[in-house]
C-alpha cells in the first residue's frame, strides 16, 4: 500500500478554512483543477455516504464517496469509486488543526492506495504535488497569501 | 476538568525537534522555567516509566513520569507525580507533525487536569503561557531558530529574496545532515580575562566564534565545568592563558556545525570535552573535533560538564599512572572533593581498601558513604597510624595526594616498601625541595602526572572517556548534582570555589 502525505500552513483560523472545505461538493469553489461537481441522488453534501461526481479541467471524470466527516476533528475521509488515475482501494483524508500560536491552520492531506509498482513514483508525485499541494496553494491564495 | 491546548510552528525539521523532545530530561537544557532536572535512578531519558525530578527557577520541586514515547508517531505523554501546585491528575501530551511544504514542524502540546475551581483560570493560564508558550519559543531559540544561527541562515537566504526559508535551507539544522558547515562567524557571550589576577578579572563579553575549519567542530555549549585548574590559569600560576583569553577546560552541549572531514560527530549530537587548550567559558566554541566526545544517551550535558574531567582524572590515576590491584591499600587525600570522591568510589569498586582523609566530619560522612574502608579527619600522624593498622604495618601501596605542601611528608611516611606516591596537585602549596636519594629508603616510586599528557590526542581522550562512562554505567561511580551558576557569574563561582564555600562540582549554565 502506498502512502502520500502532504501538510501546509493556511494563514486563516481553522474554523474559517473548515467552513469552506467541509462541503463535499465545493471543490470547484476552491481547487484550481475541478471544473464542476454535483452530489448524486440530490442528497445533502454532508450526508455521510454521499457520492460526488466531478469533472477535472482536463475532462477526466471522478466519483468519490464520503466515508467520514467530523466537525469535531475538522476532518473528512473519502474513497475513490471511479477515476482515470489507475489506483485501487484509494482512501484519502483531509484534516485541519488549529495552530493556537498565530491563529492559523495546520492542514494535512493524505491518501493510501494500491497501484502497480512501476507507477508508484509517478502517482505519488501526481497526487501529492498536483492535487494535495495544489489544493493547499489554492487555499493559501483564497485566504490572502 | 481543565484542558490546555497550545500549538505552534517551529522553524526546524521534525527530526531535529524530536531528537531533543524525546529525551525526557532535555527540558533543563532548553526550557527557561527549569533550574535543575535529573532522571531518577540514573535511567536513560527515553525510558518509558522514567521519572524526571526537577526544580523550577523559584525553587519548586516537581516529579513527572514518562508514560508514552512513540518515535513512529512523534508523540510522548507524561503525568505529574508531585508538584507544589494543585494540578491534580495532570496528564500532558506532546505531538509533532511535519509541515511537508516548508520543512518546519507543527507541535501540539496539550494537557488535562482537575484544579480547584477557584484556581482554575490562574492555573490554565500558567500552564498555557509560562510552560507551553514559553517552551515553544525557548526550544526554537535553543535550536537556533531566532538566535545568532537564525540570523546567519537568513543572511544566506535573503540573497534569494525568499520570504520563508525553503526546506533545503532549514535542513541545515537537521540532526541527520552531516557535512561541512556553510555558516559564518557567530557571536556569543563569553568570559574573557584581560589580565591575570583575582576573580574580578573574569568579565562577560560578546565574542566572535569562527565557523569550524577542516577537522573542527562548533559546539553550542549548555553547561561548563569549573575546575581548580581554572583558578591556576586565572592567577597565572599555570601559564596556559596569555591574556586576553578565555579560561576553562570542560563543557558539554550540542554540535552546531562541523568542518570538512569530520565524521565521528554531526550537528545535533550531544557532546562534551575535558582537555586543553583552554577556552571553555563561552556559549559557542570552535575546536578540534577529535577532542570532542559523543555523550552516551543516559548522560545529560549538565552531569557531563560536572563530571567528565574529574572522572577521566580518576580513571588514569587508578589505572594508568598506577595500576591499582585488588586488596591494595590506597590513601586518598581530600576524599570528599571532586576527584577525591571519584577515587574513593572507584578504588573501592576495584577491590582496594581505601584510607580516606578529609577536613571535616561532614566530609567524612561523604567519604564513608562512598565506601572508604577507614576515614580520618585531619592529615597528621593519625592517618599514618590508621594506614599502618589497615595494612598490618606494611604501609600503603599507593597514596593519591593533591594537597601538596601540608601532606607530602606524611604521605611518604605512610607508603609501603616499593609503594607509589602519586602527587597530582598542590592545593596547600608547593611541596618544596626533596632529595631524590631519600626515596631509596623505600624504593618508592613518585609520579607527578599532568592531565594533558593523558588526554592530548583524540584516541587517548576517547579511551579515557569510554572507561569513565563504563564505570558509571556499571555503578562503580555515582555522579553528584553540581552547584549551578550562570555563565555571567563566573567570578562569583571562582570566589566560592577558592573560599571552599561549595561542595561537589561547580557548573556554569549558558
Question: Is omega for the bond preceding B363 within 30 degrees of 0, making it cis?
Answer: no
pLDDT band at B152 (very low <50, low <70, confident <90, very high): very low
> Over pLDDT 70: what percentage of chain A?
99
**Average pLDDT rounded to a whole number, residues B208-236:** 92
Angle formed by the axes of helices B301-316 and B338-349, nearest 10°: 60
Residue B145's pLDDT is: 47
Contact list, A98 vs chain B (CB under 8 Å)? 7
On average, the pLDDT of chain B sits at 87
Between chain A and chain B, the number of residue pairs with CB atoms below 8 A apart is 48
By C-alpha distance, the chain B residue nearest A134 is B101
Distance between CA atoms of residues B366 and B375, nearest Å = 10
The CATH code of the domain at B2-142 is 3.30.530.20
Closest CA to B250 of B205, B198, B287: B287
pLDDT band at B156 (very low <50, low <70, confident <90, very high): very low
Residue B330: partners with Cβ closer than 8 Å, 6 or more residues away: B324, B343, B347, B352, B353, B354, B355, B396, B397, B398, B399, B400
Is A101 in Cβ contact with B8 (below 8 Å)? yes
Name the residue among A9, A100, A102 with its Cβ closest to that of B99: A9
> What are the CA-CA distances from residue B403 to residues A84, B332, B333, B439, B489 (Å)?
85, 10, 7, 19, 27
Per-residue pLDDT of B424-466, as tens digits, reads 988 788 888 888 899 999 999 999 998 889 998 888 999 999 9
**Average pLDDT rounded to a whole number, residues A114-132:** 93
**Average pLDDT rounded to a whole number, residues B198-204:** 94
pLDDT band at B144 (very low <50, low <70, confident <90, very high): confident
Over 90: is that where the pLDDT of B481 sits? no
Residue B153's pLDDT is: 29
Distance between CA atoms of residues B15 and B362, nearest Å = 47
Residue B478's pLDDT is: 87
On average, the pLDDT of chain A sits at 93
> Over pLDDT 70: what percentage of chain B?
92
Residue B179's pLDDT is: 38
Contact list, A136 vs chain B (CB under 8 Å)? 101
**Average pLDDT rounded to a whole number, residues A9-20:** 94
Chain CA centroid to CA B2, Å: 38
Per-residue pLDDT of B227-284, as tens digits, reads 988 998 999 888 888 889 999 999 999 998 999 999 889 888 899 999 988 999 999 9
Q: What is the pTM of this model?
A: 0.54
Is B42 in contact with B135 (CB distance < 8 Å)? no
Is A97 in Cβ contact with B108 (below 8 Å)? yes
Alpha helices in chain A (DSSP H): 14-21, 27-30, 120-125, 134-142
Distance between CA atoms of residues A103 and A82, nearest Å = 38
Distance between CA atoms of residues B348 and B353, nearest Å = 6
pLDDT band at B300 (very low <50, low <70, confident <90, very high): confident
Q: Which fold has domain B178-309+455-468+479-509?
A: Quinone Oxidoreductase; Chain A, domain 1 (3.90.180)
DSSP state of B146: S
Q: Which fold has domain B326-448?
A: Rossmann fold (3.40.50)
**Average pLDDT rounded to a whole number, residues B217-222:** 95
> What are the CA-CA distances from residue B219 to residues B256, B296, B361, B421 (Å)?
5, 17, 41, 38
**Average pLDDT rounded to a whole number, residues B486-502:** 88
Residue B497's pLDDT is: 87
Residue B239's pLDDT is: 82
Say if strands B91-99 and B104-113 run parallel, antiparallel, or are unpaired: antiparallel
Over 50: is that where the pLDDT of B297 sits? yes
3 state DSSP class of B123: helix
**Average pLDDT rounded to a whole number, residues B177-182:** 38
pLDDT band at B177 (very low <50, low <70, confident <90, very high): very low
- To which H or E segment does residue B89 belong? none
Distance between CA atoms of residues B248 and B308, nearest Å = 13
Chain CA centroid to CA B30, Å: 15
Over 50: is that where the pLDDT of B172 sits? no
Over 90: is that where the pLDDT of B197 sits? yes
Q: How many C-beta neighbours within 10 Å does residue B371 have? A: 17
Distance between CA atoms of residues B432 and B393, nearest Å = 28
Residue count of chain B: 510
Over 90: is that where the pLDDT of B352 sits? yes
> Over pLDDT 90: what percentage of chain A?
85
Do the interacting molecules here have an ipTM over 0.90?
A: no
Per-residue pLDDT of B355-409, as tens digits, reads 999 988 888 999 999 999 999 997 766 789 999 999 999 999 999 999 899 899 9
Angle formed by the axes of helices B458-473 and B301-316, nearest 10°: 100
pLDDT band at B146 (very low <50, low <70, confident <90, very high): very low
Say if strands B445-447 and B415-423 run parallel, antiparallel, or are unpaired: parallel
Over 90: is that where the pLDDT of A2 sits? yes
B30 CB within 8 Å of a chain A CB:
no
Name the residue among B5, B97, B108 with its Cβ closest to that of A7: B97
Q: Which residues pair with A53 in a beta bridge?
A: A38, A63
Give per-residue burial for B307-317: e unless 16+ CB within 10 Å, then b: bbbbbbbbbbb
**Average pLDDT rounded to a whole number, residues B301-318:** 95
pLDDT band at B158 (very low <50, low <70, confident <90, very high): very low
Residue B149's pLDDT is: 30
Over 90: is that where the pLDDT of B338 sits? no
Distance between CA atoms of residues B189 and B487, nearest Å = 8
Residue B176's pLDDT is: 36
By C-alpha distance, the chain A residue nearest B128 is A100
Residue A88: partners with Cβ closer than 8 Å, 6 or more residues away: A113, A114, A115
Is B101 in Cβ contact with A8 (below 8 Å)? yes
Chain CA centroid to CA B467, Å: 16
Is B448 in contact with B423 (CB distance < 8 Å)? yes
A83 CB within 8 Å of a chain B CB:
no
Is residue B246 classed exposed, middle or buried when 0-12, 13-18 and 19+ CB atoms within 10 A define those classes? Answer: buried
Over 50: is that where the pLDDT of B157 sits? no
Distance between CA atoms of residues A80 and A61, nearest Å = 11
Alpha helices in B350-426 (DSSP H): 361-369, 381-390, 408-413
Residue B380's pLDDT is: 66
595494612: which residue's cell?
B391
Residue B384: partners with Cβ closer than 8 Å, 6 or more residues away: B410, B413, B414
Interface test with B, best of A100, A106, A110, A130 (most B CBs within 10 A): A100
What residues does each domain of chain B span? Answer: 2-142, 178-309+455-468+479-509, 326-448
Contact list, A133 vs chain B (CB under 8 Å)? 101
Domains in chain A (CATH in brackets) are 2-142 (3.30.530.20)
Closest CA to B9 of A133, A139, A97, A101: A101
Amino acid at each position: 500500500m502506498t502512502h502520500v502525505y502532504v501538510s501546509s500552513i493556511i494563514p486563516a483560523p481553522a474554523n474559517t478554512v473548515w467552513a469552506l472545505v467541509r462541503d463535499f461538493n465545493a471543490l470547484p469553489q476552491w481547487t484550481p483543477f475541478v471544473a464542476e461537481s454535483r452530489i448524486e441522488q440530490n442528497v445533502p453534501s454532508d450526508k455521510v455516504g454521499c457520492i460526488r461526481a466531478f469533472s477535472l479541467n482536463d475532462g477526466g471524470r471522478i466519483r468519490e464517496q464520503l466515508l467520514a466527516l467530523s466537525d469535531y476533528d475538522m476532518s473528512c475521509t473519502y474513497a475513490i469509486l471511479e477515476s482515470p488515475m489507475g489506483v485501487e482501494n484509494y482512501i484519502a483524508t483531509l484534516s485541519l488543526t488549529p495552530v493556537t500560536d498565530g491563529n492559523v491552520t495546520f492542514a494535512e492531506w493524505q491518501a493510501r492506495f494500491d497501484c502497480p509498482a512501476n507507477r508508484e513514483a509517478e502517482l505519488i508525485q501526481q497526487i501529492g504535488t498536483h492535487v494535495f499541494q495544489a489544493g493547499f496553494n489554492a487555499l493559501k491564495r483564497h485566504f490572502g497569501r | 476538568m481543565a484542558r490546555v491546548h497550545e500549538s505552534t510552528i517551529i522553524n526546524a525539521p521534525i527530526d531535529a525537534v524530536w531528537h531533543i523532545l524525546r529525551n525526557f530530561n532535555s527540558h533543563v537544557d532548553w526550557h527557561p522555567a527549569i533550574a535543575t532536572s535529573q532522571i531518577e535512578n540514573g535511567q536513560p531519558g527515553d525510558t518509558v516509566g522514567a521519572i524526571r525530578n526537577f526544580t523550577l527557577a523559584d525553587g519548586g520541586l516537581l516529579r513527572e513520569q514518562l508514560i508514552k514515547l512513540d518515535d513512529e508517531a512523534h508523540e510522548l505523554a507524561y503525568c505529574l507525580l508531585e508538584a507544589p501546585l494543585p494540578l491534580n491528575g495532570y496528564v500532558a501530551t506532546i505531538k509533532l507533525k511535519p509541515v511537508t511544504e516548508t520543512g518546519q514542524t507543527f507541535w501540539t502540546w496539550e494537557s488535562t487536569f482537575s484544579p480547584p475551581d477557584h484556581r482554575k483560570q490562574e492555573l490554565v493560564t500558567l500552564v498555557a503561557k509560562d510552560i507551553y508558550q514559553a517552551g515553544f519559543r525557548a526550544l526554537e531559540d535553543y535550536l537556533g531558530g531566532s538566535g545568532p544561527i537564525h540570523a546567519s541562515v537568513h543572511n544566506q537566504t535573503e540573497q534569494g529574496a525568499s520570504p520563508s526559508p525553503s526546506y533545503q535551507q532549514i535542513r541545515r539544522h537537521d540532526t541527520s545532515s552531516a557535512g561541512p558547515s556553510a555558516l559564518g562567524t557567530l557571536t556569543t557571550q563569553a568570559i574573557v580575562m584581560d589580565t591575570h589576577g583575582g576573580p574580578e578579572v573574569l568579565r562577560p563579553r560578546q565574542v566572535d566564534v569562527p565557523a569550524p575549519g577542516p577537522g573542527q567542530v562548533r559546539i553550542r555549549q549548555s553547561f561548563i565545568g569549573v575546575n581548580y585548574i581554572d583558578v591556576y590559569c586565572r592567577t597565572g600560576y599555570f601559564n596556559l592563558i596569555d591574556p586576553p583569553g578565555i579560561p576553562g577546560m570542560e563543557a558539554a552541549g550540542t554540535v552546531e556545525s562541523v568542518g570538512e572531514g569530520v565524521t565521528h560527530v554531526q550537528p545535533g549530537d550531544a557532546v562534551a570535552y575535558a582537555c586543553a587548550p583552554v577556552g571553555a567559558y563561552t556559549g559557542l566554541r570552535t575546536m578540534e573535533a577529535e577532542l570532542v566526545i559523543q555523550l552516551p544517551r543516559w548522560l545529560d550535558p549538565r552531569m557531563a560538564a560536572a563530571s567528565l574531567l574529574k572522572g577521566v582524572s580518576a580513571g588514569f590515576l587508578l589505572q594508568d599512572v598506577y595500576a591499582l590491584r585488588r586488596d591494595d591499600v590506597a590513601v586518598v587525600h581530600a576524599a570528599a572533593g571532586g576527584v577525591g570522591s571519584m577515587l574513593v568510589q572507584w578504588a573501592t569498586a576495584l577491590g582496594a581498601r581505601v584510607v580516606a582523609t578529609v577536613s571535616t566530619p561532614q566530609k567524612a560522612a561523604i567519604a564513608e558513604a562512598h565506601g572508604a574502608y577507614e576515614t580520618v579527619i585531619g592529615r597528621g600522624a593519625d592517618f599514618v597510624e590508621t594506614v599502618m593498622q589497615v595494612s598490618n604495618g606494611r604501609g600503603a601501596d599507593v597514596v593519591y595526594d593533591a594537597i601538596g605542601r601540608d601532606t607530602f611528608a606524611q604521605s611518604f611516611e605512610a607508603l609501603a616498601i616499593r609503594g607509589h606516591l602519586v602527587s597530582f596537585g598542590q592545593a596547600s602549596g608547593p611541596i618544596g625541595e626533596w632529595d631524590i636519594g631519600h626515596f631509596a629508603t623505600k624504593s618508592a616510586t613518585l609520579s607527578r602526572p599532568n592531565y594533558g599528557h593523558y588526554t592530548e590526542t583524540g584516541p587517548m581522550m576517547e579511551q579515557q572517556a569510554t572507561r569513565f562512562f563504563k564505570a558509571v554505567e556499571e555503578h562503580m561511580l555515582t555522579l553528584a548534582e553540581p552547584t549551578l551558576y550562570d555563565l555571567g557569574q563566573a567570578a562569583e563561582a571562582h570566589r566560592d570555589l577558592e573560599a571552599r564555600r561549595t561542595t561537589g562540582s561547580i557548573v556554569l549554565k549558558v
